[in-house]
Structure 1
Amino acid sequence: MYKKILSFTLSIILFFSFSIPVYGAKSNEPKVEAQAAILIEADTGRILWEKNAHEPKAMASTTKIMTCILALESGMLDDVVTVSKRAARAPEVKLRLKAGEKQRLEDLLYALMMKSSNDAAVAIAEHISGSVEAFCEKMTQKARELGAKNTVFKTPNGLDANGHQSTAYDLALITRYAMKNPKFVEIINTKQITIPQEGNYRSYYLSNTNRFLNEYPGANGVKTGYTGKAGYCFVGAAKQNGMQLISVVLASGWGARGKEQKWVDTKRLMNYGFKYYKKVCLLEKNKLLKTIPVERAKETSVSLYSGKDIFTTLNEEERSKVQIKIDAPQSVEAPITKGQKLGTVQVSIGNELIGTVPLVADRNIERHDFPTSLKKVLNNWLKLTKYGIIIGEKE
Structure 2
Amino acid sequence: MPFPARRPAAALLTAVACVVTAVFVTTGSAAAVITTTTSTSATSQGASGTSTSGAPNECPNKQSPPAAEDDAEQPAAGSAAPKPLPVPADPVGGDQLGKCGFVLPPDAATAPPSEVNASSWVLADLDTGAVLAAKDPHARQRPAALIKVLLAVVALNDLKPNTPVLITQEDVDAAKGYSAVGVPAGGKYTVTQLVEAMLLKPGNDVPNALARALGGVPKTLDLMNAAAQQMGALDTRVATPGGLDGPGMSTSAYDLAVIYRHAMQLPAFADAAAVKSVTLGGVYVHNTDSLLTSYTGAITGISSNTTDAHSTNLSSAGKNGHRLVTVLLRGETTKYPMYLQSSKLLDYGFALTAAGAHQVGTLVDQAPPVKPSVSATSSASTSTDAANVTNAADNSPMYQAFGNVGMPLTIVAGLGVLVVLAMYVRKRRARAARARRLAAQANNV
Give the TM-score range, shorter chain: 0.5 to 0.7
Matched with 1:95 is 181
For residue 352 of structure 1, report the CA deviation from its aligned partner.
8.1
Matched with 2:259 is 174
Distance 2:340 2:183 in 1: 34
Matched with 2:272 is 187
Distance 1:163 1:62 in 2: 16
Distance 1:96 1:245 in 2: 31
What TM-score comes out, normalization by structure 1 length? Answer: 0.60
C-alpha RMSD over aligned residues: 2.5
Aligned-partner residue type, residue 308 of structure 2:
K
2:157 to 73, 81, 106: 73
Over residues 116-164 of structure 1, what are the superposed CA-to-partner deviations in whole Å (9 max), with x where a residue is unaligned?
A: 2310000001102x11111011101000000000100111100111111
Distance 2:152 2:169 in 1: 21
**Correspondence 1:272 to 2:355:** no
Are residues 180 and 247 of structure 1, via their aligned partners in 2, closer, same or farther at CA, if it must alter by over 3 Å?
same
**Contact 1:34-1:249 within 8 A present in 2 as well:** yes
Matched with 1:35 is 119
1:163 to 221, 224, 248: 248
**Correspondence 1:203 to 2:282:** yes
Matched with 2:334 is 257
1:49 to 121, 130, 133: 133
Distance 1:97 1:247 in 2: 30
Distance 2:325 2:174 in 1: 30
For residue 99 of structure 1, report the CA deviation from its aligned partner.
4.0
Distance 1:109 1:46 in 2: 28
For residue 207 of structure 1, report the CA deviation from its aligned partner.
1.4
Are residues 352 and 76 of structure 1, via their aligned partners in 2, closer, same or farther at CA, if it must alter by over 3 Å?
closer
**Contact 1:33-1:261 within 8 A present in 2 as well:** no
Matched with 2:35 is none
**Contact 1:154-1:161 within 8 A present in 2 as well:** yes
Matched with 1:119 is 205
Are residues 54 and 43 of structure 1, via their aligned partners in 2, closer, same or farther at CA, if it must alter by over 3 Å?
same
**Contact 1:133-1:154 within 8 A present in 2 as well:** no
For residue 214 of structure 1, report the CA deviation from its aligned partner.
1.1
Aligned-partner residue type, residue 276 of structure 1:
L
Unaligned ranges ≥5, structure 1 = 1-21, 196-201, 279-312, 319-348, 355-395
**Does the residue aligned with 1:124 lie in a helix, a strand or coil?**
helix
**Contact 2:131-2:362 within 8 A present in 1 as well:** no
Aligned-partner residue type, residue 159 of structure 2:
G
Matched with 1:241 is 320
1:342-361 to structure 2, matched below 5 A, reads: none
For residue 98 of structure 1, report the CA deviation from its aligned partner.
4.0
Matched with 1:214 is 293
**Does the residue aligned with 2:326 lie in a helix, a strand or coil?**
strand
**Contact 1:95-1:119 within 8 A present in 2 as well:** yes
For residue 251 of structure 1, report the CA deviation from its aligned partner.
1.1
**Contact 1:237-1:247 within 8 A present in 2 as well:** yes
**Contact 1:185-1:220 within 8 A present in 2 as well:** no
For residue 191 of structure 1, report the CA deviation from its aligned partner.
1.9
Aligned-partner residue type, residue 227 of structure 1:
T
For residue 272 of structure 1, report the CA deviation from its aligned partner.
0.7
Bigger radius of gyration: 2
Aligned-partner residue type, residue 127 of structure 1:
A
Distance 1:154 1:143 in 2: 13
Over residues 361-383 of structure 1, what are the superposed CA-to-partner deviations in whole Å (9 max), with x where a residue is unaligned?
A: xxxxxxxxxxxxxxxxxxxxxxx
Aligned-partner residue type, residue 347 of structure 2:
N
1:86 to 145, 170, 180: 170
1:242-321 to structure 2, matched below 5 A, reads: 242-253=321-332, 257=334, 260-278=336-354, 314-315=356-357, 318=358
**Contact 2:117-2:331 within 8 A present in 1 as well:** yes
Q: Which has the higher contact order (CA 8 A, sep 6+)?
A: 2
For residue 241 of structure 1, report the CA deviation from its aligned partner.
1.0
For residue 231 of structure 1, report the CA deviation from its aligned partner.
0.9
Distance 1:124 1:353 in 2: 32
Distance 2:167 2:140 in 1: 32
Aligned-partner residue type, residue 314 of structure 1:
G
**Does the residue aligned with 2:219 lie in a helix, a strand or coil?**
helix
**Does the residue aligned with 1:277 lie in a helix, a strand or coil?**
helix
**Contact 1:109-1:187 within 8 A present in 2 as well:** yes
**Contact 2:123-2:326 within 8 A present in 1 as well:** yes
Distance 1:352 1:122 in 2: 35
Are residues 113 and 352 of structure 1, via their aligned partners in 2, closer, same or farther at CA, if it must alter by over 3 Å?
closer
Distance 1:26 1:275 in 2: 9
What TM-score comes out, normalization by structure 2 length? Answer: 0.54
**Contact 1:65-1:223 within 8 A present in 2 as well:** no
**Contact 2:289-2:339 within 8 A present in 1 as well:** no
What number of residue pairs does the alignment pair up?
256
**Correspondence 1:142 to 2:142:** no
For residue 275 of structure 1, report the CA deviation from its aligned partner.
1.1
Matched with 2:383 is none
**Contact 2:301-2:339 within 8 A present in 1 as well:** no
Are residues 353 and 227 of structure 1, via their aligned partners in 2, closer, same or farther at CA, if it must alter by over 3 Å?
closer
Over residues 230-250 of structure 1, what are the superposed CA-to-partner deviations in whole Å (9 max), with x where a residue is unaligned?
A: 111111111111111111000
